[in-house]
Amino acid sequence: MNLTQNLATYPLLDALRDRRSRRFGLGMKIEHGPFAYQSRHEPQPLSEMEEAALAFAACGITGYALADLAYGAGQGGSMLAGLVGRTISSADAINTVSLVITKDEATYLIKRPQEFAPAEIPDLIRMAEQGDLVEFYRCSRVKIGDGRAAPPLEPLYNFNINRWSLYAPGSSYFLPINEMTALIINILLEIFDEKMGIFVRDERANFQPAGIGRFARSKGGQLHDDVRAGRTATVLALEMSAVESTAIEQGMLQQNLGLMTQALGLGGFSNFARHEFGWFKTLGFRLGEMPASRYLGANWFASTLLGLLGRNPPIFYPLGLEQEGAILLKPFCPPYYPNMAAAVQAFVESKFGSQGVFRGRAQFSRGQDPTLATAHISGPSEAAIAATIAYCEYIYRCYGRFPAHTAPFRTVLGYQANHLDLDFYERFYQPEALTHTQRTHQAYHYQTKESLERKNQQRQKGEAHASQ
């Protein structure tokens, strides 16, 4: 039975019950403490099949979304922003999370559904259905660098608990990256609709309207500015709801990696990867820069004082990923659009333009005619679009970026997978620390390596004897 067949029959309950963070891999070393130990084995990279299985578990394309929603006026169905599903769910089917995989040999970006041409999706779904994970992996990845990419291990970039094992030779590192602008703009278009009419205030500006004053009901608009109506939010609350949604999406990705690691018989663990620019600088993202005071939203007085005291250093933040003139990842904000009005219009176009998700790119589950299914799905109202543009322009004007409280891209957690050193666990742990899956998987590799070494020794002896 091959690896794909093993995965197809691996019990879900076993994966849930036996999943653990198992860190100590071949070639690793713990220098001090009760677990001080040095592996007697060389590091062993993951096979392409193992890496492909993990990549698929993390965010593989699985089929078309059912999109079984109510699409009448004011019923919210058109808030959906994608019609292709992955192994993880995503708020509004936007698929905000991208994945980077880095290892000793190279670093890759795994494309999201929206980064494929619609005609490519059926073949990817077929590969997934047939379990052709290696071919799926090859079609989904874009090489963005030679060798391993990794930020420093110093404090703030990481925590001491991870320093001994992170980015170890032979390991594969999986880094989810959250893109924030699409989800926030999509939320705004919905909450600024006549049916919801949410009024947003800026807590950093004494709770004044966040650029949307002229859309207030008290001025003849559609937004409920009377706080007694219970339809008021703040900029921070709005952005935090998006941050939490994408964090949950990433959490599902992390769980899938853990379950697949168990099914493969590998070791793996989630770890801290939250830094404003550490990973992005390492990966070659285009970076923006602004004084720390502005980045943190300090007022004029505090900013001036920090500048005079020499305590206002520049903060870098990610804007997008480009490679040889091609844009691989971009947010809906400058510098990739001339202004926020253009960015909002581009997002609306991506859903309701001639080649948008609900028009030319429409793809539903088998048996449905997308032209019939989407012909009567209307886009956001002109009033909602205008309010969204006003809000986004206000944020960018006041805070020099969009969103206001976070960068367009975020990292939170990474995941490292590697082959386990069974000797370490035999020495320090009870037998139940490892399951049959880990034992048989790694024992196979031990035996294969030893067999190859014996064959090499025999070959060398034969060559020496022949030369005599």
Over residues 277-295, mean pLDDT: 92
Average pLDDT over residues 286-315: 84
Report how far residue 144's alpha carbon sits from residue 351's, in angstroms, rounded to the nearest whole number.
Answer: 28
Q: Which residue has the higher pLDDT, 231 or 468?
A: 231
Contact indicator for 214, 221 with CB cutoff of 8 Å: yes
Do the beta carbons of residue 46 and residue 266 sit within 8 Å?
Answer: yes
Q: What is the pLDDT of residue 377?
A: 83
Cβ neighbour number for residue 191 with a 10 Å cutoff: 22
Pick 310 or 408 by higher pLDDT. Answer: 408
pLDDT at 312: 87
Q: Distance between terminal CA atoms of the chain?
A: 45
Which amino acid, one-letter code, is at 12? L
13 pLDDT higher than 70: yes
* Averaged pLDDT for residues 309-337: 93
Nearest Cα neighbor of 130 from 18, 5, 34 is 5
In this predicted model, what pLDDT tens digit does every residue of 110-142 receive, in sequence order? 999 999 998 999 999 999 999 999 999 999 999
- Average the pLDDT over each of 8-22, 271-285, 350-364 and give the range with the smallest value: 350-364
**417 in helix, strand or coil?**
strand
> Among all chains, which residue has been given the structure tokens 């193992």?
50
pLDDT tens across 427-444, in order?
999 999 999 999 998 766
User: Can you read off the two tokens belonging to residue 334?
Assistant: 């400058």
Tell me how far apart the alpha carbons of residues 3 and 264 are, in angstroms, rounded to a whole number.
8
User: 3-state DSSP call for residue 305?
Assistant: helix
The token pair that represents 48 in the structure block? 């392409």
Beta bridge partners of 175: 100
- pTM for this one? 0.91
pLDDT computed for residue 465 by the predictor:
58
Mean pLDDT of 324-340: 96
Average pLDDT, the chain: 91
Residue 45 is classified by DSSP as P
Cα–Cα distances (Å) from 461 to 448, 450, 458, 464, 465, in that order, read 20, 16, 5, 5, 6
**Would the pLDDT of 326 be above 70?**
yes
Q: Is the pLDDT of residue 257 over 60?
A: yes
> Token digits for 431?
């037998």
Please determine, for residue 451, whether its predicted confidence score (pLDDT) is greater than 70.
no
Percent of the chain exceeding pLDDT 90 equals: 75
Average pLDDT rounded to a whole number, residues 439-455: 62
pLDDT higher than threshold 50 for residue 344: yes
At residue 368, the pLDDT reads 55
What is the residue whose two structure tokens read 């609350």? Answer: 237
Q: What is the mean pLDDT of residues 350-366?
A: 77
Exposed e or buried b per residue across 152-164, where buried means at least 16 C-beta atoms within 10 angstroms of its C-beta? eeeeebbeeebeb
Mean pLDDT of 236-259: 96
pLDDT value at residue 216: 97
- What pLDDT score was predicted for residue 258? 98
Q: Compute CA distances 95 → 59, 80, 128, 277, whole Å.
A: 9, 11, 18, 22
Confidence at residue 452, expressed as pLDDT on a 0 to 100 scale:
47
Q: How far apart are CA 261 and CA 165, in angstroms?
A: 17
pLDDT: which is higher, 162 or 448: 162
Token pair for 289: 């820069």
Residue 451's Cβ-count burial label (10 Å; 0-12, 13-18, 19+) is exposed
